[in-house]
Structure 1
Amino acid sequence: MQFFPTMAMAQTAPQPIAGQEDPATKTVGDGNEIIVTARRRSETLQTTPVAITAVSAAMLENKASVSIADLSGAAPGLLITQQNSGAQAANLSIRGLTYADVEKSQTPTVGVVVDGVTIGTSTGQLQDAFDIEQIEVLRGPQGTLFGANTIGGVINIRRTKPTMSNSAKFEATYGRWNSWNTKAVVNVGNGGSLGAKFWYFHNETDGFYHNATTNASNGWSKGDNYGAALRFQPVGSGFDAILTLEKVSQKFDPVVANIANSSDVFCGFEPARECNRNTRGDLYTTFGQPAESHYNAPAATLEMNYNLGGTMLTSITGWRHARESQTQDFDGSSTDLYYVDRRQRYTQVSQEFRAAGKILSSLDYVVGVYYFTSNYDLTQCSRVFGFSPTTPPCTFDTNAQSVYGKTESYAGFGDFNWAFASKWRLSFGGRWSHDNKQLRNSFATTGLVGSGNVNFSKFTPKVGVDWRPNSDLMLYGSWSRGYRSGGFSPRAATAATAGTPFGPETVDSYEIGAKLDLLQRKLQINVAGFISDYKNMQQNTTIPGGPTGNQTITSNVGGATIRGIEMDATLRPLKSLRITATASIMGSHFRNFVVGNVYNGAIVPFDYSANNLIYAPDFSGSIDAEYKVPTRFGSVVTTLGLRHIAPYDEQISLGTLTAVKTGNTVTSVIVNGNDARVRTATQDLLDASMTLNFKLQKTDAYVRVFARNLADIRTTTAAFTVAGLWSFASALEPRTYGVTVGVKF
């Protein structure tokens, strides 16, 4: 089963105390109800008055997915692609709101939350698809409960908890590109107050690119994810604590494909066969120099819950540390033009305390406080027009750049549901956030460029109402405000610009929706319509200054309007057959998107309002079927799924230009659209699997054959043009297939 938007009986669904039950994908009532906890409450999906999709682990398991990137297109308005300029880095988009950069001085627009801990940068967001119990995708601003930097939505990932008894699962997979992985999860316990879970996941591949310069595979990777979760749950005490210790270690080849054309300066220095290539099949042939990334990220989480009867107290402490060392040939050609060595360290600590329960029988609440701090340092050496591929970048570059950044945030929040009349409920809440941002930008020999220290405060409210006239229907409407904190520009080249902050951006989202249960609970349909008003956008701007004569900084400019209609549905015509479908229709446009850029050697205003929002396809949808047949030896489960994603742009970029003149002087430039190279092809991603479940004496076993992207769609997943100098891209995984074997006991 790939995707489960399920419906609940509004009159019979249990209303547990917030946080009281384990966040499990168990069914209640008629067996079709899913428990979700993304609103910090245990509640059925169909009584949750927000646009939310619950995705089971089975979807990722059936595809033998390595990361959550295979969720792309499986929930309405959701896109997830890999950003290979950083380890475990993701480009995440929900409802057309995204952030496509790896710099840690700026924050994502979509929050990724793992076991209650928010990941503070895009690095680390592309989580391994391993030992996951359920994923909940919340669409629209989620600032009340999840804080700043969730203006697009939240991907809430819950991993399995220690079972407090003895069990184990072992699995091995081999597939195309000499890809293989092994997985192991072992639970120990005697059913009492103590239990532990241990896990290990190893994955590696030779990669699906071919380097024509070295005649070898490109895009290889090796990774390990391992750790332990210790659970203490004294019987009858109401107390439950889980301490999780883990580490992710990765080595990979951050390969890029060269998509430069004759308009790019670098093409004049590259062999002719390496320029003017297409962004489809040509992507899979590369020419660049060898590069390597190393990523080590230990983490610890302590979650404690104490049930006082009418109130649940929760504490979640998180610590994450990452060390990265990455070389990368950004021009992607056989000529040594732009090769970098980036070394970074990042540490974050977070603490959340909250209380949840009921005030009278008609009012439930979640209130709490939150603290977050992070710091990072970056050293980058660049070999620009070095024509010396054997010289290390940090030997070539005697004036390496250093950036140090620090964030400190704290917040208080409250979220309430009030059943103020029969069948009516008012949901309301808000969060007050305070952020302190610091940044220091310097170079090894020329010294300090500049530094800054700034504070931001914001209150983000949310209010909604829902009406449940009967057990088969809920209607709701809501308004919420999202907030993404401001900061400083790491690429600023003067003291003034390095010390001048950019401000926050906000989104006001208006949403109406319906959740229906039809045909005697055989058909469930969820629909939602929304309008998002995006203001004070944080966008890159070119202005005069610096050693090259111009510099790139982040500024607040213009806005955008995004409108959409979403649907997800589940049909169960037979006990053995489940069909699910999703759809998202979206329209968007920029308003007054005018920033500086270079035209004929001078910096003039460029109007980008005709550009498309990035990672915002006009239409995306999916249809999936799962058919389970009992057999004498066990069962056979067959799945077939199609995800359709219309073309979308991956960068705010320059298409054709129209110069506006006063006399002979160009006073502004109108950008007539995005560069065609940063636009994807239509993606019709067809996936299939067949799983044989059987017994080996007293042990459950299974064999699964799978295929992803059966239609062999080839296109970009990320594409960038850089100031008319060079252009590069990453490619979608071509058709792949393999086999998995596993045992559980």
Structure 2
Amino acid sequence: MEQPNIFRRLRRPAALLSVSAVALGASAGWAQEPPPAPPAYSGPRTQIETVITEAQKVESDVQSTPVALTTVSGAELERTFAQDFRDVAGTAPNVLLQPVGAFQNASAFFIRGAGSADIESAADPGIAVLVDGIYMARTSTALVDFLDVSAVEVLRGPQGTLFGRNAIGGAVLLRHNAPDVNEFGVSGSVLAGKRGRLDMKGTVNVPIVEGVAAFRLAVKSTNFDGFYYNTYDNEKIGGQERLTILPSFRFEGENLDVTLRGEYNRTRDDSFPNVPHNVCETDPALGTAGNDLVITTVTALAGPDVARQFCATEVGKDDFTINHDHFNGFGANFDVWGLTGEVNYNVPDMGTFTYLGNYRDVKEDVYNDFDTTPFDIFNTRRQQWHWQTSHEFRFASEFSDFVDLVLGGYYFKQHYMMEQDGYGIFNVGVPNSGRSNVGRSEQWHDQWSIFGQADWHITDSLTLVTGVRYDSERKDFYHCGVGAADPVTRLCPVNVPGITDATFDSKVDIGDGVGFADGTNKWSNISPKVSLNYQFTDDLFAFASWSRGFRSGGFNGRANFSSTAGPFNEEKADNYEVGVKMDLFDRRLRLNVAAFWTEFSDLQRTIIRPAASGSGGQETVTENAADARSRGIELEMTAIPVEGLTLNGSLGYLDADTLSWCADLNGPLVGTPAGKDNCGTAVNLGAAGVLQPFENAGLEVTQAPKWTTRFAISYEIPVGNAGFLTFAGDWQYRSSLALVAAGFPPGTMDGEVQFNGDRVVARRDAAHIFNANITWREVEDRYKVSFFVKNLTNELYVSTTTNVAGLFNFRQPNEPRHWGVEISFDL
């Protein structure tokens, strides 16, 4: 009997309806079941390939998908010797992907000026990172090594409808290769480079039952001495020692597709090297007024001549040689393991049901020397334990000729515990005592959501997309600031005079929790999306959309007063966007253009300010301090003008402004700065003083360069019967940007003038980065030999800075010029 019309188009393969498959851009994309591998090269490319994406969790051509997104295929990552997400940032306009200052494994991701750079696990990331469809709840460990990657995707703008929680600024997605049930394969490579770089990786794919089941194993060992030198002992620092293992299994039946993935990572890196960036308004020999506390302390311990070495200097080439304490045991130790399962079941003539589940466990032990001197003034040890689990159920269907549907539900749960020890003079008042102060935080977090999206085909060319997601968040937090926990039991005390302000339990002390039966704090949100798409021709597509983003509220894990511990509320963003995607000249030129306008309300801003209690007399808090607006244009281009020559380019223009920012940036012991207006409600801290918020509109939006530009060129030529040579290079430009959201000094972007006339600023100068490589491959693409150079001109800029409220300041430089040689095979 003939099927009713409503089911005629329901023939989408199960494997193409995975929760996490997303692809984009000028490089080859990916899907849950990778498309058949193209035949081996017979020569250079002459046309731009079709890219299949699942940015909306159903299969579509990227050129007909109403999302501003960029993809870099796994093959392209290999060709550019990408180590982690940092090597992807330059490929996408208005995107910054980099480490958090002093924590090289933690991600500080910003897209269109939205994002976060806070390592504190109580706060949620501003950019969603998903690995094999699994949302990573914390910025920590996000910058792990790339291994056996199918593609990396960058989705710009709020993505809350289909991609889960906290994708207010965008999403970054990584997908690993799935086992191939049809063919045996083995591949590997050895990369040797400057400063002891030695990376070895290998992958084996074994069909257990041909066409039905397969096992895949990928392993990578990373070893590196570090780019920098410790000036105290002339030893290299900033090194890496990592082992990553990714086993996976796949079963593929007529209507059932099951993939299981394991994850294990062992990291024994050096802690991130720091450069002194301290303020010395007064010559240490003449006085201490206006000087950071580190300078005052070093002057007392070793005299002004030594102290001057730790005043900020102009950024120069010597920043590639680092002043850093050589305290034994400094390092970043991580142990990560996880398990992910994905099940796709296709009901013929109906649709596909998908389940995606995960459990992930992380243990961290990180030592840092933040004072950057040879004295034990301010050293820390952060130990964190974290686990998360998530479960997503989804149904996708081409329901009829008129409408396609994606419906689903999502549940997420995590728990983390953090202990932070502070060592040194600032903590206990005894120089070089080695004693510690202890702080502790712990949080339980539950979240669930339901979501759906429908594509309404009004005509063959005109489609209306409507979507909505409802989120419910619940957090329970327990905390005592550094110096308040019991050094023996390592627990927060109860009703101890003098330190109860730094101790709280959200079930008892947080005011907003009162009224809930279970005493917890809750947030909820509805995130809608509407898009109107028009397919003018096969090669010309346009869309206009409105979407809303949401990031959950939370608590302050480094607060020193119960009144500043939170909770802070959710932030929201409304994004308006238009885009055009086109292929021209018989698919030799591809142009994608997007223009956007985003309005942010209740922005969560991190503030480091002086405090009357706690370690070092400072506290770090997040507040709903600001409203902001960003607008801009993004252009991406790929061209193959002649056989073998490929050109790629991107251009991003971003105009981001802080419309209002009401917060106390200079602590309870200082009044409102001259020229500022009071705003908001003052917070009385008792004997510690009063926090009086003041207006800071006009502060630059952090990590929001006005221009981001990239141009890449590659040219492949045959070498007789010996194979092919590819010559490639790229230029990346990023204009200057603000590194500190609260300004420096707090509330301004003026910087501080030192006794010697140097001005200390919290900005990154404009930078040009050039990379180049050459690769030989044999005709069937089985063997390759490559040589590459990154940062060819040895360009130097400030990668990150940390300004800690008159206590100390430090910065980290970018990576200097470095090179490597790689030999690889794929059989």
Return the TM-score normalized by structure 2: 0.82
Percentage of identical aligned residues? 26
Q: Which of the residues 359, 378, 382 maps onto 1:319?
A: 359
Evaluate the alpha carbon distance shift between residue 337 and residue 295 of structure 1 in structure 2; reply closer, same or farther with a 3 A threshold.
Answer: same
* Residues 465-485 of structure 1: CA deviation (Å, up to 9, x unaligned): 011121121111000000000
Can you list the C-alpha shifts for 1:196-236, whole angstroms capped at 9, x where unaligned? Answer: 101110111111111111111111110110131011113xx
- Counterpart of 1:563, as a letter, is R
Q: Which residue matches 2:748? A: 671
Q: Is the 8 A contact 1:653 1:674 kept in 2?
A: no
**Which residue among 175, 189, 206 is the counterpart of 1:171?**
189
Query: What is the aligned partner in structure 2 of residue 666 from structure 1?
Result: none
Q: Offset at 1:549?
A: 8.0
2:271 equivalent to 1:230 = no
Structure with bigger gyration radius: 2
CA-to-aligned-CA distance 1:297-318 (integer Å, 9 cap, x gap): 0011001111112301111111
Task: Describe the shift of the 1:614–1:69 C-alpha distance in structure 2 as closer, same or farther (beyond 3 A).
Answer: same
Shift of 1:415: 1.2
Counterparts of 1:507-522 in structure 2 under 5 Å?
Answer: 507-522=573-588
Identify the residue that residue 8 of structure 1 maps to in structure 2: none
Question: Structure 2: how far apart are the matches of 1:214 and 1:96?
Answer: 40
The aligned amino acid for 1:609 is A
1:24 aligned to which of 7, 27, 34: 34
Q: Deviations over 1:618-645 (max 9, x none)?
A: 0001111121212311211221111111
**Partner residue, 1:621:** 709
Describe the SS at the equivalent of 2:87: helix
- Cα distance 1:596–1:39, how it changes in 2: closer, same or farther (>3 A)? same
| Residue in structure 2 matched with residue 124 of structure 1 by the alignment | 141
SS in 2 for 1:652: coil
CA contact under 8 A between 1:201 and 1:226: conserved in structure 2?
Answer: yes
C-alpha distance in structure 2 between counterparts of 1:203 and 1:550, whole Å: 37
Is residue 444 from structure 1 mapped to residue 480 from structure 2 by the alignment? no
CA contact (8 A) 2:376 2:432 kept: no
Whole-angstrom distance in 2 between the partners of 1:550 and 1:382: 13
Cα distance in 2 between the residues matched to 1:147 and 1:115: 14
Alignment of 1:661-700 (within 5 A): 671-673=748-750, 677-694=761-778, 700=782
Deviation at 1:597, TM superposition (A): 3.0
**Shift in Å at residue 349 of structure 1?**
0.2
The C-alpha deviation readout for 1:387-415, integer Å capped at 9, x for no partner, is 9999999x612x41110011100000001
1:234-282 alpha-carbon deviations (Å, 9 max, x no partner): 3xx2111111112011011112222112142212233222322223424
Amino acid at match of 2:627: G
Alignment of 1:228-377 (within 5 A): 228-234=247-253, 237-254=254-271, 255-262=273-280, 263-270=291-298, 271=306, 272-284=308-320, 285-290=322-327, 291-309=330-348, 310-377=350-417
Report if the CA contact (8 A) 2:48-2:587 is conserved. Answer: no
Matched position secondary structure for 2:245: strand
Q: Which residue is 1:416 aligned to?
A: 454
- Structure 2 spans left out of the alignment, 5+ residues: 1-10, 19-30, 39-45, 281-290, 299-305, 487-491, 495-502, 507-519, 672-690, 753-759
Which amino acid counterpart does residue 279 of structure 2 have in structure 1?
Answer: N
Which of 212, 215, 218 is the matching residue for 1:193?
212
Amino acid paired to 2:32: D
Count of equivalent residues: 713
Q: CA deviation at 1:515?
A: 0.7
Letter in 2 for 1:337: I
Instruction: Assess if the C-alpha contact under 8 Å between 1:352 and 1:370 holds in 2.
Output: yes
Q: Which residue does the alignment assign to 2:739?
A: 650
* Structure 1 stretch displaced more, 367-376 or 606-615: 606-615
**CA offsets, 1:510-537, max 9 Å, x none?**
0011111222221110000001101001
Residues 280 and 424 of structure 1: CA distance in aligned 2, closer, same or farther (over 3 Å): farther
| Partners of 1:543 and 1:596 within 8 A in 2 | no
Whether the 8 Å contact between 1:197 and 1:229 is mirrored in structure 2 is yes
Contact 2:150 2:177 in 1 (8 A): yes
SS at match of 1:58: helix
Instruction: Map 1:493-512; keep pairs closer than 5 Å.
Output: 493-498=560-565, 500-512=566-578
Residue 539 (structure 1) aligns with: 605
Bigger CA drift: 183-192 or 216-225? 183-192
Q: Could you say if the C-alpha distance between residues 725 and 180 of structure 1 is closer, same or farther in structure 2, counting changes exceeding 3 Å?
A: same
Aligned residue type for 1:671: T
The worse-fitting range, judged by mean Cα deviation, of 203-212 and 75-84 is: 75-84
The structural deviation recorded for 1:509 is 0.4
1:219 alignment counterpart: 238
Name 2:285's counterpart in structure 1.
none
Match of 1:142 among 159, 171, 176: 159
Query: Partners in 2 of 1:508 and 1:543 — Cα distance?
Result: 34
Determine the structure 1 residue equivalent to 2:793. Answer: 711
Aligned residue among 432, 435, 438 for 1:396: 435
Cα distance in 2 for partners of 1:195, 1:390 equals 61
- The whole-number CA distance in structure 2 between the counterparts of 1:540 and 1:84 is 14
Q: Which one of 406, 426, 435 corresponds to residue 444 of structure 2?
A: 406
Structure 1 residue 382 corresponds to structure 2 residue 422: yes
1:322 alignment partner AA: V
Does the Cα contact within 8 Å between 1:476 and 1:514 map onto a contact in 2?
yes
Question: 1 CA distance for matches of 2:770 and 2:33?
Answer: 31
Q: Tell which deviates more after alignment, 599-608 or 82-91.
A: 599-608
AA aligned opposite 1:289: H
**Alpha-carbon separation, structure 2, partners of 1:738 and 1:30:** 31
Residues in 2 aligned to 1:147 and 1:33: alpha-carbon distance in whole angstroms = 27
Which consecutive residues of structure 1, in runs of 5 or more, have no partner in the other structure? 1-13, 658-669
Task: Give, in angstroms, the shift of residue 543 of structure 1.
Answer: 8.9
Change (3 A) 1:410 1:635: same
**Contact 1:259–1:278 under 8 Å retained in 2:** no
Which letter maps to 1:257?
Answer: V
Partner residue, 1:589: 657
Q: Provide closer, same or farther for how the CA distance between residues 188 and 27 of structure 1 changes in structure 2, counting only shifts above 3 A.
A: closer
| Residues 570-581 of structure 1 mapped to structure 2, 5 A cutoff | 570-581=638-649
Q: Is the 8 A contact 1:579 1:625 kept in 2?
A: yes
State the distance in 2 between where 1:692 and 1:478 align. 45
Match in the other structure for 2:526: 459
Between the aligned partners of 2:555 and 2:745, the Cα distance in structure 1 is: 31
Mapped partners of 2:323, 2:749: distance in 1: 31
Say if 2:147 and 2:218, in contact at 8 Å, map to a contact too: no
Q: Equivalents in 2 of 1:80, 1:544: separation in Å?
A: 31
Q: Does 1:555 align with 2:555?
A: no
SS at match of 2:355: strand
Amino acid at match of 2:438: A
The answer to whether the 8 Å contact 1:503/1:556 transfers is: yes
1:639/1:713 CA distance change after superposition, 3 Å: same
1:459 positional shift: 0.5
Alignment check: 8 A CA contact 1:71 1:79 kept: no
Mapped to 2, the partners of 1:118 and 1:519 lie a distance apart of 40
The answer to whether the Cα contact below 8 Å between 2:425 and 2:432 also exists between their aligned partners in 1 is: no
SS in 1 for 2:640: strand
Deviates further, 597-606 or 566-575 = 597-606
Pair 1:607–1:724, CA change in 2 (3 A): farther
Cα pair 1:336 1:387 within 8 Å, conserved: no
Structure 1 residue matching 2:147: 3-state secondary structure: coil
SS of 1:59 mapped into structure 2: helix
